[in-house]
Amino acid sequence: MNNHWIAVDWGTTNFRAFLINHDEIKERLSAPLGLLQVTDRQFATTLQSLLGEWLTKHDKLPILMAGMVGSQQGWAEVPYVTLPAHAGDFATHTAEVATPWGSRCHIVAGATCESEWGFPDVMRGEEVQLLGLAERYPAAEHRVILPGTHSKHARLRDGKLIDFSTFMTGELYATLINHSLLGKDLPSCEQDDAAFDLGVANSKNTPFLSHAIFSARTLRLRGAITPAQVSSYLSGLLIGSEMAALDTDNAWVVGSPALTLSYQRAARHFGITLHAADGSDCFVQGLSQIYHSGVFA
């Protein structure tokens, strides 16, 4: 029996795929070919060319996808699953899309909930990582940060996704650096730990973020930080202001090493221990869970 299948994380700006056999990653590939790069809705053709020889070596591999590929702007819109929900709920909420080469191909739903602050909230792709984390590191409760353009703070209980809140940290950072006075005439900047730490420490000065960020300007005017330090300082301020929302001294951070290290560094200023887990590993484990819950049954 052929136990191979393909796990795909297809987001707005990136594509990642994993060839799986017996729950192990056999091969992996990634490309900066997010949904925004797909023209004329050529999703099937793009997927075929990205997966290349995986499809020719194995006949009609089942494909399970998650991420923004299931959004309005993606291949097929899959209605959100309303939380609380576990892996089984996601397995029964997929949309099937047709592939010219005969693979069965399903897209997993995203998740929606009321955030702990009473706002409607949505995610697509992160729910898979969260389910994977909970299976990989079982616990009665998980608090998890998934950093990124739209950073997610999630809560799980007994492996079940309870709720989450989005913080626009990554997008705020990029938008302010590229389009506001704060990023004006900056030289090319590298990660600067001292400036980052100052930003994290200063984020505690005030709960008012729109005041705090102006200090990226005034500290520069005063010569307290150099132009080359502005971006690290702002990053520290924004990530620090996220930490203040985490009412626990023990949580997880799931993502790429570059991001999880920054979050761990910031967390130490708040006396919070952040355990890091690899985003791809969690993604594959979560999608495997959904796969085994009978998507292709």
Residue ranges that bind a copy of itself, judged by CB under 8 A: 115, 117-122, 150, 165-169, 171-172, 175-176, 178-181, 202, 205-215, 218-219, 221-222, 224, 238, 241-242, 244-245
Cα separation, 208 vs 217, whole angstroms: 16
Shorter beta-carbon distance to a copy of itself: residue 99 or 241: 241
Q: Kindly state the smallest distance separating residue 83's Cβ from a copy of itself, in Å.
A: 14
Q: Kindly state the smallest distance separating residue 224's Cβ from a copy of itself, in Å.
A: 7
Shorter beta-carbon distance to a copy of itself: residue 64 or 238: 238
**Count of C-beta atoms within a 10 Å radius of residue 155:** 21
Q: Kindly state the smallest distance separating residue 296's Cβ from a copy of itself, in Å.
A: 29
Cα separation, 121 vs 200, whole angstroms: 26
Contact status, residue 287 vs residue 66, Cβ threshold 8 Å: yes
Within the chain, strands assigned E span 4-10, 15-21, 24-31, 63-66, 81-82, 94-97, 105-108, 111-114, 120-123, 141-146, 151-157, 160-167, 250-255, 273-278
Beta bridge partners of 202: none
Shorter beta-carbon distance to a copy of itself: residue 112 or 280: 112
Task: Dig out the tokens for 155 from the structure.
Answer: 């809560």
Query: Residue 93: what are its φ and ψ, rounded to 5°?
Result: -125, 65
Shorter beta-carbon distance to a copy of itself: residue 24 or 171: 171
Shorter beta-carbon distance to a copy of itself: residue 137 or 208: 208
Q: Kindly state the smallest distance separating residue 213's Cβ from a copy of itself, in Å.
A: 6
Shorter beta-carbon distance to a copy of itself: residue 194 or 245: 245
Shorter beta-carbon distance to a copy of itself: residue 99 or 151: 151
Q: Kindly state the smallest distance separating residue 30's Cβ from a copy of itself, in Å.
A: 23
Q: Kindly state the smallest distance separating residue 18's Cβ from a copy of itself, in Å.
A: 27
Query: Residue 108: what are its φ and ψ, rounded to 5°?
Result: -80, 145
**Count of C-beta atoms within a 10 Å radius of residue 166:** 19
User: How far, in whole angstroms, is CA 151 from its chain's centroid?
Assistant: 7
Q: Kindly state the smallest distance separating residue 161's Cβ from a copy of itself, in Å.
A: 17
